[in-house]
Amino acid sequence: MDPALIWILVGLLLLGAETILPGVFLLWIGIAAVGTGLMRLVVTPPFWMTVTVFIVLLAAGIAVALRLRRAEHPRPRVNTPDSGLVGRLGVLVEPGLAGPRVRVGDSDWSARLPRDVAESPAGTRVRVEGVDGTTLVVRPD
């Protein structure tokens, strides 16, 4: 069997394996193998040149993959206290000795009020101005 066809067949098998076992690493090896096979169809270089072409194509594919990965948008921050809480309204639940607690949506949070309104009664509507760790910084609305 012609070596060019072997390169192309192996590359296609790797591309098929990528669809069964997704992980993106077989994709670049398969593309480099198909490219090497196509090059061998056009010219018949010595073995070392064939291996060099394969390595160069593989390196180029990895470089493209790394560049594409860097260009992705940052992932949204899920389940962090500041994800969507700033600006929301809540209710002061207990202005107790352990510190005030605020209910925002269906969750209770420890809160920090400004000194001038630290003695607000329970039931006071507050707006979240910021997040300090897991403590909400709130101000009466």
pLDDT digits (tens, 9 = 90+) for 82-117: 567 888 888 988 766 677 888 888 888 888 887 766
pLDDT of residue 66: 85
Domain stop point among 71, 102, 127: 71
Q: Which tens digits make up the pLDDT trace of 33-53?
A: 999 999 999 998 999 999 999
pLDDT of residue 11: 95
CB contact at 8 A, 95 and 110: no
Q: Which tens digits make up the pLDDT trace of 8-38?
A: 999 999 999 988 887 778 889 999 999 999 9
Same domain, 107 and 47: no
Q: Which domain holds residue 64?
A: 3-71
Take residue 130 and report the two structure tokens written for it: 């910021």
| Helix, strand counts (H, E) of the chain | 3, 5
| pLDDT over threshold 90, residue 69 | no
What's the gap between Cα 127 and its chain centre?
30
Q: Which tens digits make up the pLDDT trace of 132-141?
A: 877 888 888 7
Q: Does pTM top 0.85 for this prediction?
A: no
Same domain, 113 and 58: no
b/e map 67-85, b = 16+ CB within 10 Å: eeeeeeeeeeeeeebeeeb
Residue 10: inside a domain, yes or no? yes
Residue 81: inside a domain, yes or no? no
Same domain, 44 and 101: no
Same domain, 8 and 61: yes
Instruction: Please indicate whether residue 69 or residue 38 has the higher confidence score (pLDDT).
Output: 38
The tally of domains found in the chain comes to 2
Residue 78: inside a domain, yes or no? no
Same domain, 17 and 66: yes
